[in-house]
Every structure is written in C-alpha cells, then in structure tokens.
C-alpha cells in the first residue's frame, strides 16, 4: 500500500514549456486534490476532483489543467510554465474529511 505517489520529485522547466505532474493513489478514494505550497501563503487549492470524470476549480486554478479518467490517477498539467508557478506541489487523496498527501514535487521555472 503506497498511499499517494507523486512524480517527479524535482523538475526544472523553462518559461513557456509544458509538463504534467503525476499523482496516483492506491486507496480507492473518490476525492483527490492538488495544492501548491509557497512561503507565507500556506497550501492553496488548485483543482480538485470528487470522482472519475468530475473536476472543479480551487482557489488558484489559472495556468493549470486537470483531468480524472480513473479513480487512481489525477494528473496536473502546466500548459505554458511561468516563473510564478515555481512552487512545491502536493497531491492529496481524501477519505471522508481526512487528506493523505504525497511527498510533493518541487518545481522551478526559469
């Protein structure tokens, strides 16, 4: 039982490049979410999904896309990376009110 697995752990992108942050969970949870963590800003909700085929926007959705084709996977896409997207990204899988977080992806956009 691996819990929530995020890949990659580290990534450097050039401005304008695109990439997908992967997130997979093996707990059969319907609810999954993506957060970004920045100093002094805490964890801010980007997008979330209450089940396969259903996604919705969080507090800071601009510049990010998500899809949920399976219960297990919830990838986060950056279509055209900007320096403002430099951050640590966390994926979470939720059981009732409890969130289980992955180890995070540290993304730097230069």
Partner 1 sequence: QQQVKQSPQSLIVQKGGIPIINCAYENTAFDYFPWYQQFPGKGPALLIAIRPDVSEKKEGRFTISFNKSAKQFSLHIMDSQPGDSATYFCAANTGKLIFGQGTTLQVKP
Q: List residues binding partner 1 (CB under 8 A).
A: 4, 33, 35, 40-45, 48, 58-59, 90, 92, 94, 97-99, 101-104
φ, ψ for residue 65, nearest 5 deg: -125, 150
Cβ contact 35:102 at 8 Å = no
Distances (CA, A) of 30 to 66, 68, 71, 88: 15, 10, 6, 24
Closest to partner 1 by CB, 17 vs 37, is 37
Closest to partner 1 by CB, 17 vs 31, is 31
Q: Taking the complex as a whole, how short is the minimal distance between the CB of residue 76 and partner 1, in angstroms?
A: 15
Closest to partner 1 by CB, 59 vs 84, is 59
Q: Taking the complex as a whole, how short is the minimal distance between the CB of residue 15 and partner 1, in angstroms?
A: 26
Q: Taking the complex as a whole, how short is the minimal distance between the CB of residue 71 and partner 1, in angstroms?
A: 19
> Please, how many CA atoms are within 13 Å of residue 26, restricted to the half-sphere of its CB?
5
Q: Taking the complex as a whole, how short is the minimal distance between the CB of residue 98 and partner 1, in angstroms?
A: 5
Task: Determine if residue 59 is left, alpha or beta; phi over 0 gives left, psi from -120 to 50 gives alpha, anything else beta.
Answer: alpha
């Amino acid at each position: 039982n691996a819990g929530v697995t995020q890949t990659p752990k580290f990534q450097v992108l050039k401005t304008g490049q695109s990439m997908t942050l992967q997130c997979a969970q093996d707990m059969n949870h319907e609810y999954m979410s993506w957060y970004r963590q920045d100093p002094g800003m805490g964890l801010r909700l980007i997008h979330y999904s209450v089940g396969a085929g259903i996604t919705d926007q969080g507090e800071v959705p601009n510049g990010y896309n998500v899809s949920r084709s399976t219960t297990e996977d919830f990838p986060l896409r950056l279509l055209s990376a900007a320096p403002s997207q430099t951050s640590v990204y966390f994926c979470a899988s939720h059981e009732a009110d409890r969130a289980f977080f992955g180890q995070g992806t540290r993304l730097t956009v230069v």
